[in-house]
Structure 1
Amino acid sequence: MKMRRVFLALLVAIAMGTAVPVTAQVPTVQQAISAYLSALPADFNGIAAPALKARLDAGEKIFLLDVREATEYANGHIAGAVNIPIRTLVANLDKLPPRDAPIVAYCGVGTRGAYATMALVMLGYTNVKNLGLGLNGWTAQGFPTVK
């Protein structure tokens, strides 16, 4: 019985000791999120399909970042888009243009694109937008895709 109490006390001590570093990081994460949210521009880092199409048609050099999975990308994407699935984005930052270059991230409906936009802004990219409604919004306007 005494051995069981010692073992239980040891487990509690270990659990408490490992919990401290995790809770110590919470304010840092909260501060980063707070800084991001308080700095959101009026357009919330978004761009509508017609505005993006007009800028591309005008010859503006915009890095199109398709954050969908490779199979989704293969089924159709905006011409010139580079596919970096969202789960691999941080590991592939070297494939992105300089941090001040215009980047438009997109996915199927806008959710993953928004996550990618937020991540890139938090990593110091200053000219990133999310395509509102994603590729679905693009094709709903009748704009072309390629395979």
Structure 2
Amino acid sequence: MKKVRLFLSVLLVLSVVLSGCSASNTPATTQPAPAAADKAPAATPAPEVNVVKDAAEKYFAEMPADVYKIPEKDFVAKVKANEAMLVVDIRQAKDYDAGHIKGAVNLPWGEAIAKNLTNLPQDKPIMVYCYTGQTAGQTVALLNVAGFNAKSVNLGWNLGISKVEGVADVTETTANALPAGKTEIKPEIQTALNDYFFKMAELKGTTYANYKISEDDAKKALDTKDPSVMFLSVRKAEDYAKKHIDGAINIPFAKGMQASFAQLPKDKKVIVYCYTGQTAGQTVAILRLLGYDAVSLNSGMGMPSTPGSGWANKGFPVVGTEAPAAQAPSGQPAPSTGDKS
């Protein structure tokens, strides 16, 4: 009996020892969690792309030395030399029919421009002219944003082209059709330009028709100190210092000017003016694509080439180093200088 008990005790001891060895030698079935430093970094979300905004800002960021314009004499010379280009007359059909540059096609200012983007060529320059250059400035900005190489003809038909010596030799009344094309336009750009002209059409007959404002209406806004309006001069800094509309800020028209747009409010009407309205037209188009409520001042500050039109040419008040000393406050008649015979 004692031998049996001893035998059972030995078996119990061996069982405990063997089970302990088995537990210690069995490999682990789970791996330790990797250190934080070994974890793969989280993917960085791709920056959101705004096709219209990028193209609009690029317009000024990559502005050429000719500021998207061509002198009227140089333009006529190119026409006479039969240089490869498409000439686009954006005046109204009746004025185009009365006489236009040889070979020019007519796309009246408005929705016709947006509707014909796919028919315009990207393999040659596009020369655009209107009446005085102001709406051509808007058009050229929009076309460049859409991917075309477009330039406006200085002072348009009335003040520039029609006054060039020998222009009669390249003037015709025969209408020219724009051939159908297959140019690909980015959908976002097409939508933005459609919207640009759709909203402009809604302003027909109002103070801001064609995204412009007359000198008289702009002066009323100044005289009444309309809080919903501000003036932006895009003239050169030295010319702004000499004379500018009271309260106007200055962002000179130049390459890189888009970097200064952040100072402009998006909750006000921004009245943009330059010298004759042409570069203001370009500025207005880009500002509107960027979300600003901008319009250009008819004929700008005014130049000798635009007699009778333009802010200063109308005798409206200015401030600056060259402001008339006896100038009356805004909205008040100038002091009398005596009876005139």
- TM-score band by shorter chain is 0.7 to 0.9
- Other-structure match for 2:150: 128
Higher relative contact order (Cα pairs below 8 Å, separated by 6+ residues): 1
Q: Secondary structure at the match of 2:63?
A: coil
List aligned pairs for 1:23-62, cutoff 5 A: 30-62=53-85
What is the CA deviation profile of residues 12-50 of structure 1, one whole-angstrom value per residue up to 9, with x for unaligned ones? Answer: xxxxxxxxxxxxxxx875544322122111111111121
TM normalised by structure 1 equals 0.72
* 1:128 Cα offset (Å): 1.4
CA distance in 1, matches of 2:103, 2:80: 13
Structure 1 unmatched ranges of 5 or more: 1-26
Instruction: Kindly indicate whether the alpha-carbon contact (under 8 Å) linking 1:68 and 1:112 is maintained by their aligned counterparts in 2.
Output: no
Give the total of aligned pairs.
Answer: 119
Structure 2 unmatched ranges of 5 or more: 1-49, 174-341
Instruction: Kindly indicate whether the alpha-carbon contact (under 8 Å) linking 1:65 and 1:81 is maintained by their aligned counterparts in 2.
Output: yes
User: Kindly, what percent of the aligned residue pairs are identical?
Assistant: 34
Instruction: Kindly indicate whether the alpha-carbon contact (under 8 Å) linking 2:76 and 2:164 is maintained by their aligned counterparts in 1.
Output: no
Q: Secondary structure at the match of 1:37?
A: helix
For the pair shown, the structure with the greater C-alpha radius of gyration is 2
Which of 77, 81, 106 is matched with 2:129 structurally?
106
CA distance in 1, matches of 2:83, 2:51: 37
- Other-structure match for 2:172: 146
Instruction: Kindly indicate whether the alpha-carbon contact (under 8 Å) linking 2:130 and 2:156 is maintained by their aligned counterparts in 1.
Output: yes
As a proportion of its length, which structure holds more helix? 1
Instruction: Kindly indicate whether the alpha-carbon contact (under 8 Å) linking 1:77 and 1:146 is maintained by their aligned counterparts in 2.
Output: yes
CA distance in 1, matches of 2:125, 2:59: 18
Pairwise CA RMSD of aligned residues?
1.8
Which of 104, 108, 114 is matched with 1:90 structurally?
114
Q: 1:74–1:100: structure 2 CA closer, same or farther, 3 Å change rule?
A: same
Which amino acid is the alignment partner of residue 86 of structure 1? W
What is the CA deviation profile of residues 52-93 of structure 1, one whole-angstrom value per residue up to 9, with x for unaligned ones? Answer: 122222221221001112122122211110001121101012
* 1:101 Cα offset (Å): 1.0
TM normalised by structure 2 equals 0.33
CA distance in 1, matches of 2:77, 2:93: 27
- Other-structure match for 2:306: none
Instruction: Kindly indicate whether the alpha-carbon contact (under 8 Å) linking 2:89 and 2:128 is maintained by their aligned counterparts in 1.
Output: yes
CA distance in 2, matches of 1:29, 1:83: 26
Which of 131, 134, 140 is matched with 1:117 structurally?
140
Instruction: Kindly indicate whether the alpha-carbon contact (under 8 Å) linking 2:85 and 2:125 is maintained by their aligned counterparts in 1.
Output: yes
Which amino acid is the alignment partner of residue 73 of structure 2? P
- Other-structure match for 1:67: 90
